[in-house]
Amino acid sequence: MEQSQILQQLNDIFKDVLDNDDIVLTDITTANDIEEWDSLYHIQLVVAIEKHFKIKFTASEIQSWKNVGDMANAVKSKLAA
Protein backbone atom coordinates (compact mmCIF):
# COMPACT_ATOMS: atom_id res chain seq x y z
CA MET A 1 0.00 0.00 0.00
CA GLU A 2 1.20 3.51 -0.80
CA GLN A 3 2.21 5.89 1.97
CA SER A 4 -0.49 8.35 0.87
CA GLN A 5 -3.19 5.67 1.04
CA ILE A 6 -2.06 4.70 4.52
CA LEU A 7 -2.15 8.33 5.61
CA GLN A 8 -5.67 8.69 4.23
CA GLN A 9 -6.87 5.64 6.14
CA LEU A 10 -5.12 6.82 9.29
CA ASN A 11 -6.94 10.11 8.87
CA ASP A 12 -10.30 8.33 8.84
CA ILE A 13 -9.37 6.35 11.94
CA PHE A 14 -8.33 9.53 13.77
CA LYS A 15 -11.59 11.27 12.85
CA ASP A 16 -13.60 8.33 14.10
CA VAL A 17 -11.72 7.64 17.37
CA LEU A 18 -11.21 11.25 18.38
CA ASP A 19 -14.71 12.26 17.27
CA ASN A 20 -13.50 15.25 15.29
CA ASP A 21 -14.23 15.58 11.57
CA ASP A 22 -11.88 18.53 11.09
CA ILE A 23 -8.68 16.51 11.52
CA VAL A 24 -6.30 16.68 8.57
CA LEU A 25 -3.18 14.59 9.10
CA THR A 26 0.21 15.16 7.51
CA ASP A 27 3.48 13.33 8.10
CA ILE A 28 4.60 15.92 10.62
CA THR A 29 1.40 16.09 12.65
CA THR A 30 2.02 15.41 16.36
CA ALA A 31 -0.20 15.06 19.42
CA ASN A 32 0.42 18.74 20.14
CA ASP A 33 -1.45 19.69 16.98
CA ILE A 34 -4.70 17.90 17.82
CA GLU A 35 -6.46 18.81 21.03
CA GLU A 36 -8.26 15.49 21.52
CA TRP A 37 -5.13 13.42 20.95
CA ASP A 38 -3.79 12.86 24.46
CA SER A 39 -2.19 9.93 26.24
CA LEU A 40 -5.65 8.53 27.09
CA TYR A 41 -6.77 8.43 23.46
CA HIS A 42 -3.39 7.55 22.00
CA ILE A 43 -3.81 3.90 22.86
CA GLN A 44 -7.36 3.86 21.43
CA LEU A 45 -5.83 5.05 18.18
CA VAL A 46 -3.18 2.34 18.27
CA VAL A 47 -5.80 -0.36 18.85
CA ALA A 48 -7.99 0.97 16.04
CA ILE A 49 -5.00 1.08 13.65
CA GLU A 50 -3.98 -2.46 14.56
CA LYS A 51 -7.54 -3.71 13.97
CA HIS A 52 -7.97 -1.85 10.72
CA PHE A 53 -4.73 -3.04 9.13
CA LYS A 54 -4.78 -6.40 10.94
CA ILE A 55 -1.27 -5.93 12.32
CA LYS A 56 0.33 -5.93 15.78
CA PHE A 57 2.99 -3.52 16.97
CA THR A 58 5.52 -4.11 19.71
CA ALA A 59 5.63 -1.85 22.77
CA SER A 60 8.95 -0.30 21.76
CA GLU A 61 7.64 0.43 18.25
CA ILE A 62 4.66 2.28 19.69
CA GLN A 63 6.87 4.26 22.03
CA SER A 64 9.32 5.25 19.31
CA TRP A 65 6.80 7.19 17.19
CA LYS A 66 7.38 10.91 17.18
CA ASN A 67 4.73 11.95 14.63
CA VAL A 68 2.11 10.63 12.22
CA GLY A 69 4.80 9.98 9.59
CA ASP A 70 6.47 7.50 11.95
CA MET A 71 3.11 5.77 12.49
CA ALA A 72 2.48 5.51 8.76
CA ASN A 73 5.98 4.12 8.19
CA ALA A 74 5.46 1.55 10.92
CA VAL A 75 2.19 0.46 9.28
CA LYS A 76 3.86 0.29 5.87
CA SER A 77 6.75 -1.88 7.03
CA LYS A 78 4.38 -4.19 8.95
CA LEU A 79 2.21 -4.65 5.86
CA ALA A 80 5.26 -5.34 3.70
CA ALA A 81 6.61 -7.94 6.12
Using the minimum distance from each CB to other proteins, give the nearer residue, 8 or 30: 30
Using the minimum distance from each CB to other proteins, give the nearer residue, 27 or 35: 35
Cα 10 to Cα 52: distance, rounded to the nearest angstrom: 9
Q: How far is the CB of 51 from other proteins (least distance, A)?
A: 10
DSSP state of 33: G
Q: How far is the CB of 11 from other proteins (least distance, A)?
A: 19
Q: How far is the CB of 36 from other proteins (least distance, A)?
A: 9
Contacting residues toward other proteins, per CB under 8 A = 19, 38-40, 42-44, 46-47, 59-60, 62-63
Q: DSSP assignment of 45-69, as one string? A: HHHHHHHHHT----HHHHHH--SHH
Cα 30 to Cα 50: distance, rounded to the nearest angstrom: 19
